[in-house]
Amino acid sequence: MRTPHGALLLLFILACLRGAYSGGGRSRFTSIISFGDSYADTGNLVMWADPVLPGLPLKNLPYGETFFGHPTGRATDGRLVLDFIAEALGLPSVPPYLAKGSNFSAGVNFAVVGAPALNLTYLQGLNLTVNPPINSSLHDQLAWFQKLKPSLCKGQGTDCFESSLFVMGEFGGNDYISFLLSNRTVEQARPYVPQIVDSISRGVERLVQHGAKYIVVADIFPIGCLPGALTKLANPNKVEYDRHGCLKRVNRLARYHNSLLRQQIMMLRYKYPHTKIIVVEYYKPFLAFLDMPEHFGLNSSTTLLTCCGAGGPPYNYDFNAGCGLPSVTACANPYQALQWDGFHLTESAYRTVANGWLHGPYADPPIMHVAF
């Protein structure tokens, strides 16, 4: 029987009130290997940038201001969900793959800001604008992993990844955003959902075939609640918006993706019973933030406003004045904000999402139930 959303929300709040990330003792995991997009990138894009992408705003303050005090390549004001997971498992922050001279003995992060599930050439062949236009897709990241695998394993054989936690995603959000920002409708994007989900499913299966025993697979956010999407797709018809002010049609697309993804994971679990595949959610905790922002220390009047942006209400988002550009400043209290730069959340929000993955209810099973 399906657990009511209200009951899940109560469990989520109780988990957050516990406050502690560590489960005590020593985790079974000695490394984290991550794939994904801007919700997981700990620095790959900024290391890729010059001279390919000069003047990248992500390299400037106020990115990174909350925790690190300087930009790190993370698309937020501080830490990501991945950082909190590493902390909870007693591991160091997962270093980006492109960081020269890094020690990958405790993990490596292949995630890149803007990475789609489908290949760049394929998306461009559909006349979509892909930003940034680089080969960083799921397929590309898996190729980097395969190239690095011999140095990660160093003769350990088939047991190489027995104590590694693989984190897959999220993936798919950038594919749909490419459709929507290329002036395609939700109806035009919808037929590609099975293909995008299949790409993710095949990626998970490749990891299993490489010896992964523990894989976390993330769903996608309610894209119709992000200020960038709300600004681009603004509609005078109020019927298009839900009670939170999010675009219903866009969020139906995200829910369709998440539903198909869960079905694919169920099939993979059946096919590979000796691999633990953990499904984690971004979508439902995001709705929890909108339902009861004050319970998470968020300002209820700014849940759809960009903290680091320009233009003022209703979304404080301007495509020509993005975070990191001169004269664009962040809000005074980012720890009370949900939305950071129009497409990403704040460290405060990511901390709470991480707690939902680690302890439940937004992970099946919770990561900490597997780790110890």
- Contact call for residues 301 and 352 (beta carbons, < 8 A): no
pLDDT confidence band for 18 (50 / 70 / 90): very low
Q: Is 314 domain-assigned?
A: no
In DSSP terms, 277 is beta-bridged to 215
Domain that holds residue 87: 26-301+341-370
Question: Which of 52-66, 168-182, 217-231 bottoms out in mean pLDDT, i.e. has the lowest?
Answer: 52-66
Domain-embedded: residue 13: no
3 is a domain residue:
no
219 close to 261: Cβ distance less than 8 angstroms: yes
pTM of the model: 0.93
Residue 21 covered by a domain: no
Q: Is residue 334 part of a domain?
A: no
User: 275-320, pLDDT tens digit by residue?
Assistant: 999 999 999 999 999 999 999 999 999 999 999 999 999 999 999 9
Q: Is residue 323 part of a domain?
A: no
Position 102 scores a pLDDT of: 87
pLDDT bin (cut points 50, 70, 90) of residue 346 is very high
Number of domains, the chain? 1
Catalytic residues, by residue number, are: 38, 341, 344
Report CA dihedral (112, 116, 119, 121) to the nearest 10 degrees: -90
Cα R_g (the chain), whole angstroms: 19
Nearest residue to 171 via CA among 39, 260, 48, 268: 39
For strands 164-168 and 107-109, give the pairing. Answer: unpaired
Q: Per DSSP, which regions of the chain are E strands?
A: 31-35, 107-109, 164-168, 214-218, 276-280, 363-364
Altogether, the residues listed in the chain come to a count of 372
Query: Nearest 5°: CA angle at 40, between 37 and 43?
Result: 90
How far is Cα 343 from Cα 44, in angstroms, rounded to an integer? 18
Q: What is the pLDDT of residue 9?
A: 59
Give me 119's structure tokens: 């290949």
Residue 191 belongs to a domain with what CATH number? 3.40.50.1110
